């Protein structure tokens, strides 16, 4: 009887995982989308205002967003630039 239960659980697990798309992976995005340039300006503004991050006479300014991708991990969408 225990072999039957084990076989059923194994069959169910294999059938369930084969029919589902596993979470995770990188999704490339369009770097020409204005949304990403707005985010780059927001990040530069934050760095320029933080005296611990930028204590010198230089000011950071985004020029061009070259690559944008998103990484999906365990059902949580995390955004990273490459």
Q: What does the pLDDT read at residue 20?
A: 47
Strand partners, 28: 69
- Residues of the chain short of pLDDT 50, as ranges, are 19-20
Q: What does the pLDDT read at residue 60?
A: 83
Q: What does the pLDDT read at residue 75?
A: 54
């Amino acid at each position: 009887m225990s072999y039957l239960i084990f076989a059923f659980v194994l069959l169910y697990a294999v059938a369930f995982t084969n029919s589902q798309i596993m979470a995770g992976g990188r999704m490339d995005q369009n770097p020409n989308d204005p949304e990403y340039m707005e985010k780059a300006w927001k990040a530069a503004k934050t760095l320029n205002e933080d005296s611990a991050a930028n204590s010198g006479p230089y000011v950071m300014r985004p020029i061009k967003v070259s690559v944008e991708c998103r990484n999906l991990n365990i059902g949580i969408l995390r955004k990273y630039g490459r």
